[in-house]
Amino acid sequence: MIAKILSLNSGEPSPLEWDGRSVSSSMLHHSVPGPLVVHKDRIEGNSFGSPLIHGLEHAVLYAFGITSALEFVKLLGMSEYAPGTTGENVTLDALDEREISVGDKFEFGEVLAEATNPRIPCGKVSLRMRHADGQKALQQCGRSGIYFRILRPGKIFRDSTVRRVELAKHRFPIAELYAKMVAGTQLSPEEIQRALANGAFPRKMHEKWTATT
């Protein structure tokens, strides 16, 4: 798989206001010329409003495919999606959550990153989209975007190539995991064994599953 970068985006926490509500969020990302300077634990010029939830070691880089984003906004009656709208650092021409597994490794220019987790939307998505069904639509569409762990720091340029360089041996598609997490459905014993064998899931998930097996 080879993808084209449509936009590089970054942002700092700022007020997100709509319908009489106001929260601090870093979802208001703006397009930047690049490069994105990516470290093991952070991206320069980019931070998170809820650092105990987002931006952890397994979620330093967030990427979203425009085809997935369009599926999302279509449910809101919109025909266009502006890159960076939901807080992604890299907007790609294609990033299919159904075909990418936890543990797949990608090169984003100089950066080597490992897919770890879908983005689980909170209520801030509704504020960002200025639509009461924003969070619900992002859940329903089955398209989440993907969080990545950084294995090799470096720079991502606007014209960098994004390509998958390694497939996870024990596959667990991001879309499959997303559907389980959104529905609040527990993984079956077989799924837990597959996830543990995969080895790339976030540490907290590993610890929880290991304690129950």
At residue 159, φ and ψ (nearest 5 deg) are -100, 15
Burial of 192 (0-12, 13-18, 19+ CB in 10 A): middle
Position 135 scores a pLDDT of 96
Position 203 scores a pLDDT of 87
Position 50 scores a pLDDT of 67
Distance, first Cα to last Cα, the chain = 35
Q: Which domains does the chain have, with CATH numbers?
A: 2-212 (2.40.33.20)
Give the torsion through C-alpha atoms of 10, 156, 144, 99, to 10 deg: 170
- How far is residue 123's CA from residue 56's CA, in Å, rounded to a whole number? 20
Position 144 scores a pLDDT of 93
List the one residue out of 167, 200, 174, 175 whose CA is nearest residue 1.
167
| DSSP three-state, residue 189 | helix
Position 54 scores a pLDDT of 65
pTM: 0.94
Q: Give the pLDDT of the chain (213 residues) as one tens digit per residue.
A: 899 999 999 988 888 899 899 988 888 899 999 999 999 999 999 887 666 666 689 999 999 999 999 999 999 999 999 999 999 999 999 999 999 999 999 999 999 999 999 999 999 999 999 999 999 999 999 999 999 999 999 999 999 999 999 999 999 999 999 999 999 999 999 999 999 999 999 988 888 888 765
Position 51 scores a pLDDT of 65
Position 142 scores a pLDDT of 93
